[in-house]
Amino acid sequence: MENSLAFARQLDQEDPLRAFRDRFYLPQRNGEPLIYFCGNSLGLQPKTVQQALEHELTIWQQHGVEGWFEGENPWYSIHRRCKEPLAQILGALPAEVCPMNNLTVNLHLLLTSFYRPQGQKTKILTIGGDFPSDQYALESHLKSRGLNPDEQFIELFPRSGEPTWRTEDLLNAIEHYRDSLALVLMSGLHYYTGQVFDMATINQKAHEVGVMVGFDLAHAVGNVPLALHDWGVDFAFWCSYKYLNSGPGGVAGIFIHEKHHAAGLPRLAGWWGYDEARRFEMTKGFVPMPGADGWQVSTPTILAMAVHEAALEITAEAGMPALRRKSEQLTGFLEFVLRDSGYPLTILTPAERGCQLSLLVPKNGKAVFNQLTEKGIIGDWREPDCIRLAPAPLYNTFEEVWRVGQVFLSA
C-alpha cells in the first residue's frame, strides 16, 4: 500500500463496485458531499426509495383498502417480496426468514420460543458489554419466569488487558456451564469493538452440549458473509437501518432454522401469523403460517416495507462476496493510513471484523473527533475516548479513507 492520493484514486478506479455509490444520496454541507463513515449507525438513503414510497402512496390514494389485494404486488403479500434477497444476504432459505417488526420486539418474540428453561438448565450465556437492549430483554425474560438475573445471566468478558474476545474462551465457557445452560445468545458482531465472532464454531459447540443458539445480527447483516442455514443456527434477528440502508427505524427481521418449523414451539401469536389461506375465517385456535412467517404478529408497515425492499435489491445485486472483498480492502487501507500518520491511538478492532474500525484516542480524542467533523468526516464518538469509523463498501471510497488519514496526520 501507499499513503498517497494517487494510490487511493487508483484503487477507486479498479473498484468493481464503484458505480453503486451513485445510487445513494450523499449528505452535504455547503453544497459539498460529506465523507460519511457512520453506516454502522444509519446507512444512507438509496435513490430508489422515493419512487418506491410514491408507488405505495399512489396505490393507497387510488385503491384505498383494496390495495391489500389489487394490483401486481398487493400489500397482503408484501413481506414475500423481501424474502429472496434476505435469504441471499443471510445464507438462509427463503422460508427461514421474514421481515417484520423491530429488533427488540423480535427478540422478545424469539425468546418466548427458544428460551425454554428446564430443570437445572436455566442459564443464559452472552458476552459482557453487549448492546444494552438485548440485556434488558434477557433480564425481563428471566424475571418473567421467576428467575434471578444475577444468578442466571452469564456474561463473558475479554481477558484482563485485552479489548476483544478469544473464541477459545467462549467455547470453554459453554463447556463449563454445559449442565446449566439453556441458551447462548449474543451479537454476531460487537457494536463497540467491531469484532466479528466465529458464529459457526460457537454454534457447533453449543449444539454439542445440547444448547440452543441465537445471534443478534444488527451489525453483521449486510456487512459480513453469513451462512445461517448451513451453520445450523437456531434463530437470529436484526435491524435493517445500518448496512441494509432501509431507513431510520426501518423494518427488522428474523431467521428461524427450518428444523424448528414443525417443532410446535410456543410463541406469542397474532392474526398476521395465522395461516394466510384461512386468515379471514376469524376462527379460534391459532394455526401458524409455515416457516418463519408464522412468527408474525401484526400487520406490516407498508411504507417501511417498500423502503426495505428497494434497499435490499441493491445489496443483493452487489452480492456479499464482492461487498466483503471491498470491505476488507477499505478497512485495511484505513488501518494503514492511520498507523502511517503516527498519531497515538489504539485500534481496538481485530482482523476478524466487518466495515468498522474502533479507535481508542486517549490524547485529545474528542478534539480529534471534532476536527474530523469540521473537515466534513462523519463518524461516531463513544465516551470516554473512542472514535468509530465505518467505511461502507456500497458508497464509500478509498480516496475518502485517505482523507481521513490526512486529518490524523495533521492533528
Compute the distance between CA of residue 220 and CA of residue 227 in angstroms, rounded to an integer: 12
- Whether pLDDT at 2 is above 90: yes
Classified as helix, coil or strand, 31 is coil
How would residue 263 be classed by pLDDT, with cut points 50, 70 and 90?
A: confident
Q: Is residue 221 part of a domain?
A: yes
pLDDT for res 15: 98
Domain endpoint, select from 297, 318, 339: 318
- Claim to verify: residue 188 and residue 248 sit in the same structural domain: yes
Classified as helix, coil or strand, 93 is coil
Structural domains counted in the chain: 2
Compute the distance between CA of residue 90 and CA of residue 269 in angstroms, rounded to an integer: 25
According to DSSP, the residues that pair with 123 across neighbouring strands are 181
Cβ count within 10 A of residue 9: 14
What's the mean pLDDT when you consider all of the chain? 96
- Claim to verify: residue 308 and residue 340 sit in the same structural domain: no
- Give me the helix-helix angle, 398-410 and 365-374, nearest 10°: 130
Domain endpoint, select from 285, 318, 351: 318
- Claim to verify: residue 214 and residue 304 sit in the same structural domain: yes
Closest CA to 109 of 292, 306, 343, 370: 292
DSSP-derived secondary structure letter, 343 = -
Compute the distance between CA of residue 125 and CA of residue 132 in angstroms, rounded to an integer: 15
Beta-strand ranges (E) seen in 174-282 are: 181-187, 212-216, 235-238, 253-256
Report CA-CA distances (Å) from 379 to 3, 328, 363, 376, 397: 21, 18, 18, 10, 15
Read off the amino acid at residue 389: L
- Claim to verify: residue 178 and residue 269 sit in the same structural domain: yes
What is the CATH classification number for the domain harbouring 193?
3.40.640.10
pLDDT for res 319: 98
Answer yes or no: pTM beyond 0.95: yes
- Claim to verify: residue 226 and residue 164 sit in the same structural domain: yes
Q: Is residue 39 part of a domain?
A: no
Q: Is residue 41 part of a domain?
A: no
- Claim to verify: residue 295 and residue 278 sit in the same structural domain: yes
- Claim to verify: residue 110 and residue 153 sit in the same structural domain: yes
- Claim to verify: residue 245 and residue 210 sit in the same structural domain: yes
The number of residues making up the chain comes to: 411
Q: Is residue 72 part of a domain?
A: yes
- Whether pLDDT at 84 is above 90: yes
Instruction: Write the DSSP string, 130-185.
Output: --HHHHHHHHHHHHHTT--HHHHEEEEPPPTT-SS--HHHHHHHHHHTTTTEEEEE
Closest CA to 331 of 166, 196, 173, 232: 196
Domain endpoint, select from 318, 350, 374: 318
What is the CATH classification number for the domain harbouring 343?
3.90.1150.10
Q: What is the pLDDT of residues 167-211, one digit of tens each?
A: 999 999 999 999 999 999 999 999 999 999 999 999 999 999 999
Q: Is residue 404 part of a domain?
A: yes
Q: Is residue 371 part of a domain?
A: yes
Q: Write the CB contacts of 82 (distance below 8 Å, at least 6 apart in sequence).
A: 99, 253, 305, 308, 309, 312
Q: What is the pLDDT of residues 119-133, one digit of tens each?
A: 999 999 999 999 999
- Claim to verify: residue 116 and residue 103 sit in the same structural domain: yes
Q: Is residue 40 part of a domain?
A: no
- Claim to verify: residue 145 and residue 110 sit in the same structural domain: yes
- Claim to verify: residue 118 and residue 241 sit in the same structural domain: yes
Report CA-CA distances (Å) from 187 to 100, 193, 229: 19, 12, 17
Classified as helix, coil or strand, 210 is coil
pLDDT for res 381: 96
- Claim to verify: residue 28 and residue 132 sit in the same structural domain: no
Residue 304 lies in domain: 54-318
Q: What is the pLDDT of residues 284-333, one digit of tens each?
A: 999 999 999 999 999 999 999 999 999 999 999 999 999 999 999 999 99
How would residue 226 be classed by pLDDT, with cut points 50, 70 and 90?
A: very high
- Whether pLDDT at 72 is above 90: no
Q: Is residue 44 part of a domain?
A: no
pLDDT for res 24: 98
